[in-house]
Amino acid sequence: MTTKPLITLEHVSLTYPGSTSPAITDISFSVCEGDLTAILGPSGCGKTTVLRVIAGFERPAHGHVVISGKSVASANTWVEAEHRGVGMVFQDYALFPHLTVLQNVAFGLRGVTPNSQREKIREVFALIGLEGFESHYPSALSGGQQQRVALARALAPRPAVLLLDEPFSSLDPDMTERMREELLEILERTGSTSILVTHDHEEALDMADNVAVLNTGRLEQLGTPDEIYHTPTTAFVADFVGQADFVPGQVTEGKVVTEVGIFENVGRLKDSTQVLVMIRPDDVRIQPCETASARILRRHFRGSENLYRILLPSGQLLYSSDSSTVIYPVGTNVDIHVETLHTIVFLRDTQGGHCL
Ligand code: ADP
């Protein structure tokens, strides 16, 4: 369910002191009340900087940040971090090692009356399942338990906004899966509006209502997980959010002609235009055929699927995913059939540009 925007960034840019290039440039997006937005991108693309600007740890050189209808950063306004109603879970959790779990959580409630503090701590311990751990020190806790404490500390003051910086990066894969589910349940129960920073596209697609994809400090695309995956607007997004191949083609008699099939000319490009068609492995079906000229180079067994690497006669590689029980030996010649939901085409000489 989407309602009104609770966090809005307009044209936000920031260059760190001593740096010659901006960490983030002209970032604009909104997060609606109750929604979880993931900021996704490779290391160094500016994800944490966006989070720190929203939290009030960095002041942007340009732009405007609004939280709960109130301007918190602009050319004329600046609201300190502690007055923004924002809770943050840091990548390394940043728990105080010399304080107990109870004292760590209470740290987020400075300035609150003792009665109200007790009530809020009781509530958040019950919500996050920390009862019994009050007197433990962080060093005696597992990664997942430390994450719960960090989450409890951030949520205890009932912030309007929860910011999560790579919260699962220190956990092993089994624990990550469990904690993702737990976090989603907690966010739903508290009706939190949150932003999750991650470099893991599966995590972003799995958890978020919306995904903001960043590349070298710029917002490449903002959309639902389905939009980002199926209709990426740039080749960078297409490639970053999942396995994608870009097969060369040419517009001929109003169609896009490639060596793996003929596709719709979605951009109504002129004949002879050179293009790249984005193809995902789940859109590629293969069928063994002795006379076919494409060949299986490798089978990547992924547990729930087999991902086949196929060599086309031109030398182009193409990936095809199939069920884990469908096994073809390496070297098998295969016929290829590509069935895309939407044809995503990029101009060949501007691969990073917008799709057509
Ligand atoms: P991400 O979270 O996507 O890994 P960051 O927001 O941490 O990216 O960093 C964006 C860019 O800003 C990177 O080039 C990084 O080296 C630089 N950067 C981050 N923090 C600082 C800082 N305190 N001083 C100078 N440069 C920084």
Cα–Cα nearest to 310, from 276, 260, 239: 260
Ligand 1 nearest atom to the CA of residue 42, by list position = 3
- The full 3-state SS of the chain, as one line of letters, equals CCCCEEEEEEEEEECCCCCCCCCEEEEEEEEECCCEEEEECCCCCCHHHHHHHHHCCCCCCEEEEEECCEEEECCCCECCHHHCCEEEECCCCCCCCCCCHHHHHHHCCCCCCHHHHHHHHHHHHHHHCCCCCCCCCHHHCCHHHHHHHHHHHHHCCCCCEEEEECCCCCCCHHHHHHHHHHHHHHHHHHCCEEEEEECCHHHHHHHCCEEEEEECCEEEEEECHHHHHHCCCEHHHHHHCCCCEEEEEEEECCEEEECCEEEECCCCCCCCCEEEEEECHHHEEEEECCCCCEEEEEEEECCCEEEEEEECCCCCEEEEEEECCCCCCCCCEEEEEECCCCCEEEEHHHCCCECC
Q: Whole-angstrom Cα distance, residue 278 to residue 255?
A: 15
Give residue 2's region: left, alpha or beta (phi > 0; psi -120 to 50).
beta
Nearest C-alpha to atom 27 of ligand 1 is from which residue? 16
Nearest C-alpha to atom 11 of ligand 1 is from which residue? 23
Nearest C-alpha to atom 6 of ligand 1 is from which residue? 46
* Domains, in order of start, for the chain: 5-239 (3.40.50.300), 243-355 (2.40.50.140)
Identify whether the C-beta of residue 89 lies closer than 8 Å to the C-beta of residue 147.
yes
Nearest C-alpha to atom 24 of ligand 1 is from which residue? 16
Task: Supply the pLDDT for residue 352.
Answer: 47
Cα–Cα nearest to 176, from 168, 186, 187: 168
Cα–Cα nearest to 242, from 206, 197, 216: 206
Cα of 182 vs centre of ligand 1, distance in Å, is 29
Nearest C-alpha to atom 5 of ligand 1 is from which residue? 46
Which residue ranges have their beta carbon within 6 Å of ligand 1?
A: 16, 19, 23, 41, 43-49
Q: Which two tokens stand for residue 65?
A: 């940040």
Task: Supply the pLDDT for residue 350.
Answer: 53
Residue 348 CB coordination number (10 Å): 14
Ligand 1 nearest atom to the CA of residue 199, by list position = 3
Spatial strand order of the sheet with 274-279 comes to 261-264, 255-258, 245-252, 274-279, 344-347
Q: Whole-angstrom Cα distance, residue 188 to residue 125?
A: 16
Q: Residue type for 24, please?
A: I
Rg over alpha carbons for the chain, rounded to the nearest Å, is 24
Q: Which of 49, 50, 163 to mutate to test the pocket of ligand 1 (most atoms within 8 A of CB)?
A: 49
Ligand 1 nearest atom to the CA of residue 46, by list position = 6
Cα 30 to chain centroid, rounded: 15
Low-confidence ranges of the chain (pLDDT < 70): 1-2, 350-356
State the sign of the Cα–Cα–Cα–Cα dihedral 257, 259, 262, 264.
negative
Which CA distances in Å does 236 have to 200, 214, 250?
15, 10, 21
Ligand 1 nearest atom to the CA of residue 214, by list position = 3
Cα of 18 vs centre of ligand 1, distance in Å, is 12
Give residue 310's region: left, alpha or beta (phi > 0; psi -120 to 50).
beta
Identify whether the C-beta of residue 224 lies closer than 8 Å to the C-beta of residue 210.
yes
Cα of 90 vs centre of ligand 1, distance in Å, is 15
Q: Whole-angstrom Cα distance, residue 107 to residue 156?
A: 10
Cα of 48 vs centre of ligand 1, distance in Å, is 7
Cα of 23 vs centre of ligand 1, distance in Å, is 6
